[in-house]
Chains A and B, each alone.
Chain A
Amino acid sequence: MVVVLGAAVAVHTSASADTASSSSSEPPTPAEGVTPIDNGSVSHWQHQSDARAAIVEGFISSYAEAGGASIEFESIPYSDYFVRLGAALEAGSGPCVLQIPANILAEFQARGQLAPMPEDVMTGEQMEATFTPAAISLLSIDGQYYGMPTDLQTLLLFYNDDLFEAAGLDPTQDFETWEEFREAAIALTQADGDSMSQAGLDIASSPYQWYYSWPTLSYEEGLVDDETLRVNYASEPGYQAWERLTSLITVDGVDSPEFLAEQSKFGSGLAGMTLREYTFNGVYQLTAPDVNFSVHMPPPVTDEHFGSAASTSWAYTVSSACENQEGAWNWIQYLTSEEAQRIWIAEGGELPSRLAILADTSLTEDPAVAVGFESLESAVPYDSAGWDDAFAVQQEIWDQIVIGGTDVRTAVDDGAAAEDALYETKGIGG
């Protein structure tokens, strides 16, 4: 979450808007053809990311050149984004088009703040035929779609290949079992006297990717019951996921909260592995050019393991208070069109949510990109019905176990109860 996607920078993938061919197999039902319209300006807010803001600025120019409306674009620092958005929507001065995490689309809809997507933009059937399920499963409420997907990411395992080889491990292989993964993490950990000098895993400074992934992948239907909106991870698979995850620190000591606290150990070349969003493939190329890394599918953790990787995504939605609904949806269609998505992939570090692009083999010459595409084949969306608030609950579980020494079941039970209570507070659960 939290703002990792805000850190997205241009990636060096083999994909490019200019070079991408359309040698892919056809999607089941094509849903394309965006003709920009100009029936009044459209305001658009999203949280700040240099790369994403630059891409949107480019789209604004090309949209206007193609006869589209003027777009009043604001890119707002993540730390202020939800404060400003909440206050502005309440005051009736919010934007027409807003970017929100797919996880809280239902919450905004429950408050009456979102407009349903008109059928002439795309029908439900067209959405399902056009986009990968991981990207849209949280965008539909009672069969009605309220947004179109953007910034789709899967959480993948990154190896420091040099450290793997130094530890006698093979950096070309994915882990087949939890034990293999755990033993490699232990082998990659080094100490200098009493002090850690190299972490097996870069996990303590950014654990959320880990606890988003593994409990999510332990349940076939995700972490939250769609009907009751109650969390289900206070049960055996959840306990096992949290137990194994936290024991990496509490038992195996493959990382420590006090070793390079809050720093990127992996980016500094001082960690053997890390679990990060796909976009970090580009981030590390730019910010850690000396780290020789490769990208892999995450290991199975629990005894019952569903899907290839957990995913997160955001959505472009339209405010119910927007007076120019037609213009707003037209702009979103433009932003999420196939042409646009190829640019998002090449310059914004995104994974394709469109099935047509996912099937385009010309984009997957880079092995890291290929892993990203492969991970989408059976990705399971992290489906907590909250964002920073649900994250806070789950971070508390982590801290209670890892720092506070609370036993796993107690911490997980308390967290699940707190998350249920949160959904009731928000008026979407219970």
Chain B
Amino acid sequence: MRTQRTLWAYFFLSPSLLLFGLTVVYPMLRSLQYSFYKWPLGDAAKTFIGLDNYTKLIKHDDAFHQAVRNTLFYTVANVVPTVLLALGLALALNSPTLRARGFFRTVYFVPVVTSLVAVSYVWRLLLEPSFGLVNTALGWVGIEGPGWLSDPDWALEGVVAMTIWRDVGYYMVIFLAGLQTIPKDLNEAAELDGAGAWQRFRRITVPLLNPSIVLASVIGVIYGLQLFTQVYVMTGSPSKLPGGPLGSTTSVVLFIVQSAFRPLEMGYPSAAAMLLFLIIMTVSLIQLRVMQRKFDY
């Protein structure tokens, strides 16, 4: 009986499994295969070169190293402030005393539902050094704004600023959902026992919000490590390729795309894609191991 039920379960799962296999597993396996080859498109010879692509990427390719550094910097610089800011907003907007909570929640969530391409274009104009709104506003308070996307020292920070602005509403909703699952009587009991607001936050809210924090952080890191669209739109133009200036905004995904579709060679970028997969998997597992807490109440 049990075996039959299992078979039926697989039967009903089979369309999804088939689709998953065709669109995810198969391309990954082919990419793994390509990564051991010099694999130009077309009829040109495909040459097995073992681990050469990996060796070159890890030991010799400065552009790849820079892309990895950029991606890690972006991920940390984006996820940490976004999560903290979203948590703060969620706490504020979860307060029963705040009027027009729905309005503010909508306001903070609106950037999430706008097109990433569209907002990237808008931010590109906002960050224009000589006449952009950001530097103009900084000028009003006596600060000389940087060159942002024209300056290799500030370009990635410009991308980070835009992403924080756009993503904070998304994580805020995750935290709001988490906050609303925390039983009110726990806080009330703690308050009766004399716990202050900070103690209640630290001892009750944060531990019970742990699943939401872990979820937000893991999603944020995975998205961060896959950085592409913002860089592609904000730093590319009809007369400049994205990822500049001087590679300061090139992410690993952009590196992969450019390595594949400029010379139309699939082996080398496939190896880079495999390394990115390993990085994402390793970081996510570490995050889950470090951050996840069991908590009973």
Contacts and interface: CB of A to CB of B under 8 A. Distances in A.
B152 interface: yes
Interface in A229-281: 257-263
Contacts of B55: none
A231 to B, nearest CB: 15
A163 B128 CA distance: 24
For the complex of A and B, the 5 pairs showing the least CB-CB separation, nearest first, are A111-B42, A112-B43, A389-B262, A206-B239, A258-B129
A426 interface: yes
A427 B263 CA distance: 10
17 contacts: A2-B240, A2-B241, A82-B262, A83-B261, A90-B41, A111-B40, A111-B41, A195-B130, A257-B150, A258-B147, A259-B129, A261-B129, A261-B130, A261-B150, A395-B244, A425-B263, A426-B264
A260 B130 contact: yes
A260 B131 contact: yes
A417 interface: no
Contacts of A261: 128-130, 147-150
Interface string A380-408: 00000010110110011001100110000
Interface of B: 40-44, 124, 128-131, 147-152, 232, 236-241, 244-247, 257-258, 261-265, 268
Interface of A: 1-4, 6-7, 78-79, 82-83, 86, 89-90, 107-108, 110-113, 195-196, 205-208, 257-263, 386, 388-389, 391-392, 395-396, 399-400, 403-404, 422, 425-427
Contact of A82 (B124, B151, B245, B261): B261
B40 A427 contact: yes
A399 B261 contact: no
B265 A4 contact: no
A90 B149 CA distance: 36
Contacts of B148: 261
Given A260-B131, A388-B262, A403-B246, A112 B42 contact: yes
B42 A392 contact: no
Given A259-B130, A262-B124, A111 B241 contact: no
B240 A262 contact: yes
Contacts of B263: 107, 386, 389, 422, 425-426
Contacts of A6: 238
Contact of B262 (A110, A392, A400): A392
Contacts of B124: 262
Contacts of B261: 82-83, 86
Contacts of A396: 246-247
A97 to B, nearest CB: 17
Most buried by A among B124, B148, B237, B261: B261
A207 B241 CA distance: 12
A6 B237 CA distance: 12
Given A258-B147, A261-B147, A422-B263, A403 B43 contact: no
B278 to A, nearest CB: 24
Contacts of A391: 241
Contacts of A388: 241, 262
Nearest to B263: A426
A179 B41 CA distance: 47
Nearest to A80: B261
Contacts of A4: 238-239
Contacts of B129: 258-259, 261
Given A3-B239, A388-B262, A389-B263, 5 more contacts: A1-B239, A111-B264, A195-B130, A399-B246, A404-B246
B281 to A, nearest CB: 26
A196 B246 contact: no
A425 B44 CA distance: 12
Contact of A262 (B128, B241, B258): B128
A360 B130 CA distance: 46
A3 B238 CA distance: 5
Nearest to A261: B150
B130 A403 contact: no
A206 B240 contact: yes
Nearest to B243: A392
